[in-house]
Amino acid sequence: MRGLAIITLLVIATGLSACTEEAASDAPFTPSYTGIETRLLDGDLVQFEVEMRGARDEGDVKDYAECAAAQYALIRGYGFARHLRTTVYEEGGLWRGDAVYTISAALPPGLKTIDAEVAALACAENGIPMV
């Protein structure tokens, strides 16, 4: 009887946990984009440091950095960027990303390439600020 009670409590707790996670994912996404710093490292190699609050996860910070890279490529007269790396961390609700991209006029080799014009349009549609 006691074993059945413990199992019942575990099932209820698991169900409540799922409800809490589901409710959290239904919360409105209201990010605050607080800054972009751009550094030209070498010729076509560019570093972007971004900060934001209200990110749901690392993906939101990476999207913000990609938007910065797309707009930067367009400003410099290039049509493409290739993602090299992004480091994301969060402290006290402030999310920071440090990303490095190469920019180029022609589609660069590699799997993580972006068409700057297409990416910039998507960023504008999603309300993500750019450089």
**Residue 11 exposure: Cα atoms within 13 Å on the Cβ side:** 6
Angle between helices 58-75 and 116-125 (to 10 degrees): 130
Q: List, for residues 51-107, the tens digit of each pLDDT value.
A: 999 999 999 999 999 999 999 999 999 999 999 999 999 999 999 999 999 999 999
Position 24 scores a pLDDT of: 52
Q: From the CA atom positions of the chain, what is the Rg in Å? A: 20
Q: What is the pLDDT of residue 25?
A: 61
Report the amino acid identity of residue 76: R
CA distances from 126 to 41, 47, 130 (A): 29, 23, 11
Query: The pTM is what?
Result: 0.79
pLDDT recorded at residue 5: 41
**pLDDT value of residue 107:** 93
16-57 tens-digit pLDDT = 444 444 445 677 889 999 999 999 999 999 999 999 999 999
